[in-house]
Structure 1
Amino acid sequence: MKHLSGLDATFLHFETPEMPMHVGSLNVLQLPKGYQGDFYEDAKAFMAGRIHLADVFTRKLALMPFDLSNPVWVDDDDIDVDYHVRHITLPKPGTNRQLQQYVARLHSSLIDRSRPLWEFYIIDGLKSGEVALYTKVHHAGIDGQAGVEVGKAIFDLEPAGRVVRPPRRKPRRSGYQLGMAELASAALRNTAAQYVKLYKMLPALGKALADLAAAPQELPRELDPRALARRYNLTAPRTPFNVSITNQRAFAGRTIPLAETKAIARHFGVTLNDVVLATVSGALRQYLKAGSELPAESMVAAVPVSLREAGDDTANNQASMILVSLASDLQDPVERLKAINQSSTQSKSTMNRFKAVILDDFPMFAAPWLMSGMASVVGRSGLVNMLPPAANVAVSNVQGAPFPMYFAGALVTSYYPVSIASHGTALNITLQSYNGRLDYGLIACRRAVPDVNEIGDHLLAEHRRLMALMQEAAPAPAEKPAVAPARERRAAPRRKAVATARKTAPVKAVKAAPAKKKPAAAAKKAPRGR
């Protein structure tokens, strides 16, 4: 039995049919040359031998009585692999657009909470002859970086894979579910431990607040709340993305070379994430401008920030959020990029002051049922459509593997993230680096953003625009000397060698050269002297 942290449980309590709280990915797989088997059966057998490598595949929820406290994770000793690994064949012609539409449809349905919270889909029928792997895992058990660690359990570095030891046998429990008394006592103990942890954190929290208040150079002189809100990007203008959503989804995937994005960052002296945000900003600016919906004020992005320590591969959530101005009110792309860099740096600096006291686990006794009710009321009442938004779009950048990987012997050619659209933030753009690529996954409420593919096309166009500006600003290459004629080019090395020999040869005494003898024929013709 393991308790969910307060942050993990939040993704459960805020979940509604209109707002599923699972994350996933779409991988296109290239089958081995000459493959003639049934890849679905091979993938199912492959997963059956790997699920014990990650906790997320083998644990399920045990709910507390009356939802008085957060659920706990318990081991599931009866996992039905046929249920969790499923098979879909696309109708002809099997285009990429059809694949993305089907993934959007699969992503809109809730995961069964009575089982381990994950589902894998093998999708074939693509006209390219490739197959696709779509995965979804509930966000209550995993964040972006923990997802990379789960990927290490199911992906290999070679087509032949690696030898995996079978799981150790564990004694089966006599009952299917834990008893009410056992769950209640566990909830009370965990709640008490959370309050103790919170009490111990109060001095550090007070110090962080004092440090922030003692930094007048970072605060505006006027204490007007509206000025403070603008300074720290606490409010955002209203856009078509800031509405209540339905359970219908639209998805689009786009790829940008990682090397080109890094080159832009180096040239303009910003970070790679700044370039990503500038690319997103330019794309949204063009999209909204085409519909005469571009706000006069700058849009704001909600950007997750990892709180995970190096080497921590725990399958849970350890992240917070910062707000970054997208500078969408600026027309010049370079000025926009510099403004995003300034806003991002300031937000990260503020976050670093509080990072040590940000809690991912906090008391929630008697709160779960209240949070679930509030989530339903907020989503269905239309209240989101009237409240000022804190952010216009969610943008997340996950660092993935810089090398090729294989799943059940098939080469993984792409790694498109599929994340969460939420009430008030109908568009989520998450990207992951993989093997020299930046794979963007755009997930949105289909009613709020029906043409998400158009935004994806604007992403590519904005990247090309930044590349062109970088190349225009690059210093011109040095002029090459004029090409000499072929005869002079052949003679040049010989002249150079002679000149070098003359400079380096030791000085010797010069002797008179002996007189040359005349040829015999010339001697006979010469007149004989008397």
Structure 2
Amino acid sequence: MKQLAGLDASFLYLETPQMPMHVGALHLLQLPVGYDGDFVEDLREHMRARLPLLPALRRKLLAMPLGLSNPGWVDADPDLELHIVEIPLPEGSGMAALEAEVGSLHPVLLDRTRPLWKFHVFTGLEPGPEGEPRVALYTQLHHAAVDGQAAVALAQVILDLSPEPRAIDTLAARGKKRGQLGTVGLLRAAVSQQWKQTVKLARSLPNAAGILGGMAVGYVGGAAAGASVNKLRTLLSDVASQTTAVVRGKTAVSSLGPAPRTRFNVSLSATRSFAGVTLPLAELNRTRKRHGASLNDAVLFVIGGALRRYFAKHGPLPRKSLIAAVPVSTRAAGDTTSNNQATMTFMSLGTHLAQPAERLSHVMASSAAMKAQMSQLKSLMPTDFPSLGIPWLMQAGAMLYGRAKVAEKLPVIANVVISNVPGPQVPLYLAGAQMLTNYPTSIAVHGLALNVTVQTYNQSLDIGLMACGEALPETAELAAYVEAAFLEFQALPVAEAPKTPDPARAPAARKQRVAPPAAKASKPTRAPAQASKAPATAQPSRARKPVAKATPQPRASTARKRTAAA
């Protein structure tokens, strides 16, 4: 038995019918031409062969006596008839039907008496542009078992690089099965785990003090650090509140709240609304490189632009910028452990700025502030801690939080969750079927009714919009605004850097100041990169499409009209 770390177990304690804690994705799959088999059975056989390499899918929870501390993982063989199920849809169903099904299935909690995962296979979909048969897959994995990058590692085992599945060495893959402990053994394991967690936390404190001390030296400057008590207190205050300002030109950007209160900052219902949207990654990269922006900057700018459009229509558009809660991975390179290794930071989206160029500068400044801070602080965030009594406290607190609608009464620190998970850039296959899309389906929580998760796949940027069905039923409309904000990003002219006067040309410059006005008028002017800018609240146009990628575009064949503002 392996007892859950504190962060992993937290996702169990916080789960309620209104706040399910599983993650996954919606995949559109294209079957080989002429396929006439049963894909559900093929998938079960495929997973049966891969399970020896997937310990996260071969374990279930074992509760500690009286629920005093975190439960443990014990070995369990999943019944694939129950974990991989078929959902027939009306013949010719498209993307809108799939999104509605995901919205209906997402609030259904996973059975904790079994391994915490489930695959739903949708049949009855309209064929591809050349008549290719298609199915879809909606996956669910509990966040107590995996985070975003751990899920990517699982996908690398399940998926293949060609339609022909690779051979798996099952004998070397499966380890020795562990037996379950009795009540006395469980109590001993719980006490031992509490001691290890306490010692681990205590040992991390000197390292944390050293990091903060090093930051203090850099903050106040050299040997004066020891004498500058007031400055050190200021530093620690900044660290505690995660306040960092970065100056770009004359603009200081802080991502700390309070954030404006919006319709997203409410307690959740037990309903969900979901939509997916795909953007061409190559064009997004070309555009963001012209502006010196990172991929994260580009994602935040596009999502911020879509939210500005949404609130401009549905109102009210806050005068203060919306704040995004952004998960940040603390996972070391090459670590594929099936657990959670992440923390959270905050980013200002600049939605209060009407001009796209100003909004992009604002986002880039906010991003630079976050990076400067997190590079030093992410190692201070604990993922494990003593848990004696925590299960009772957190479960009771989660239920009370939702029932008492505490989210409506507390100050707002963020308005939306935006997560960016790197994924593979080549086409992948599952049981012989080509995966066309990879729309993430993540978690909305009380007070943050919208989660936007982005994952790169096969030269595309696939975006999943998961929201409370009562707070935001118009996810399809928001997806259309994402496409419009991307077009706005493409059309944004590159700002010219201010020219620095050359001292060697100073005499000529003085001579030019006394030149006749006609000489000045004859000086050629540089044409702007774009003739005009897209309005900040422009509505999405379906006439212009993003650049298509080489592989078949699923949205073209499963297209449906999105409701957009006139």
- Of 42-51 and 271-280, more deviation after overlay is shown by 42-51
Structure 2 letter corresponding to 1:187: A
CA distance in 2, matches of 1:49, 1:119: 17
Root mean square deviation, CA, Å: 2.6
2:134 aligns with one of 124, 127, 130 = 130
1:386 and 2:413 are equivalent in the alignment: no
1:278 corresponds to: 301
CA distance in 2, matches of 1:221, 1:71: 40
Displacement of 1:46 after TM fit? Answer: 1.1
1:233 and 2:263 are equivalent in the alignment: no
Displacement of 1:357 after TM fit? Answer: 2.4
1:155 and 2:151 are equivalent in the alignment: no
Task: Map residues 191-210 of structure 1 onto 2, 5 A cutoff.
Answer: 191-210=194-213
2:147 corresponds to: 143
Task: Describe the superposition over 1:232-258 as per-residue Cα deviations: whole angstroms up to 9, x where unpaired.
Answer: 514211011010001211100000000
- Of 18-27 and 349-358, more deviation after overlay is shown by 349-358
Task: Map residues 32-71 of structure 1 onto 2, 5 A cutoff.
Answer: 32-71=32-71
Structure 2 letter corresponding to 1:182: G
3-state DSSP class of the match of 2:170?
coil
1:293 corresponds to: 316
CA distance in 1, matches of 2:482, 2:124: 28
Structure 2 letter corresponding to 1:183: L
Task: Map residues 26-425 of structure 1 onto 2, 5 A cutoff.
Answer: 26-76=26-76, 78-128=77-127, 129-167=133-171, 178-213=181-216, 215=219, 231-425=254-448
Task: Map residues 438-453 of structure 1 onto 2, 5 A cutoff.
Answer: 438-453=461-476
**Judging changes above 3 Å, is the alpha-carbon distance between structure 1 residues 68 and 298 closer, same or farther for their aligned structure 2 residues?**
same
CA distance in 2, matches of 1:296, 1:173: 58
**Judging changes above 3 Å, is the alpha-carbon distance between structure 1 residues 216 and 90 closer, same or farther for their aligned structure 2 residues?**
farther
Structure 1 letter corresponding to 2:112: R
- Would you say the 8 A contact 1:220–1:227 is kept in 2? no
CA distance in 2, matches of 1:452, 1:472: 33
- Would you say the 8 A contact 1:234–1:323 is kept in 2? no
2:488 corresponds to: 465
- Would you say the 8 A contact 1:24–1:418 is kept in 2? yes
- Of 387-396 and 215-224, more deviation after overlay is shown by 215-224
Displacement of 1:356 after TM fit? Answer: 2.3
3-state DSSP class of the match of 2:420?
strand
- Would you say the 8 A contact 1:86–1:121 is kept in 2? yes
**Judging changes above 3 Å, is the alpha-carbon distance between structure 1 residues 86 and 363 closer, same or farther for their aligned structure 2 residues?**
same
List alignment gaps of at least 5 residues for structure 2: 128-132, 222-230, 245-252, 497-525, 529-566
**Judging changes above 3 Å, is the alpha-carbon distance between structure 1 residues 332 and 115 closer, same or farther for their aligned structure 2 residues?**
same
**Judging changes above 3 Å, is the alpha-carbon distance between structure 1 residues 216 and 80 closer, same or farther for their aligned structure 2 residues?**
same
3-state DSSP class of the match of 2:167?
coil
Task: Describe the superposition over 1:25-64 as per-residue Cα deviations: whole angstroms up to 9, x where unpaired.
Answer: 1110000011111111111111111122111110111111
CA distance in 1, matches of 2:108, 2:152: 23
**Judging changes above 3 Å, is the alpha-carbon distance between structure 1 residues 471 and 12 closer, same or farther for their aligned structure 2 residues?**
same
Task: Describe the superposition over 1:395-424 as per-residue Cα deviations: whole angstroms up to 9, x where unpaired.
Answer: 011110010000000001111100001100
CA distance in 2, matches of 1:253, 1:227: 32
1:498 corresponds to: none
Count of residues in correspondence between the two structures = 475
Structure 1 letter corresponding to 2:85: R
CA distance in 1, matches of 2:461, 2:35: 29
- Of 333-342 and 369-378, more deviation after overlay is shown by 333-342
Task: Describe the superposition over 1:316-348 as per-residue Cα deviations: whole angstroms up to 9, x where unpaired.
Answer: 001111101111111111211111111111112
CA distance in 2, matches of 1:163, 1:93: 35
3-state DSSP class of the match of 1:460?
helix
**Judging changes above 3 Å, is the alpha-carbon distance between structure 1 residues 37 and 328 closer, same or farther for their aligned structure 2 residues?**
same
Structure 2 letter corresponding to 1:270: A
CA distance in 2, matches of 1:355, 1:227: 11
**Judging changes above 3 Å, is the alpha-carbon distance between structure 1 residues 471 and 411 closer, same or farther for their aligned structure 2 residues?**
farther
- Would you say the 8 A contact 1:267–1:470 is kept in 2? no
**Judging changes above 3 Å, is the alpha-carbon distance between structure 1 residues 333 and 386 closer, same or farther for their aligned structure 2 residues?**
same
CA distance in 2, matches of 1:400, 1:467: 23
- Would you say the 8 A contact 1:265–1:275 is kept in 2? yes
Displacement of 1:103 after TM fit? Answer: 1.2
**Judging changes above 3 Å, is the alpha-carbon distance between structure 1 residues 296 and 219 closer, same or farther for their aligned structure 2 residues?**
farther
**Judging changes above 3 Å, is the alpha-carbon distance between structure 1 residues 316 and 172 closer, same or farther for their aligned structure 2 residues?**
closer
- Would you say the 8 A contact 1:401–1:434 is kept in 2? yes
1:25 and 2:25 are equivalent in the alignment: yes
CA distance in 1, matches of 2:210, 2:177: 49
1:14 corresponds to: 14
**Judging changes above 3 Å, is the alpha-carbon distance between structure 1 residues 111 and 354 closer, same or farther for their aligned structure 2 residues?**
same
CA distance in 2, matches of 1:419, 1:170: 31
Displacement of 1:165 after TM fit? Answer: 2.2
Overall identity of the aligned pairs, in %: 45
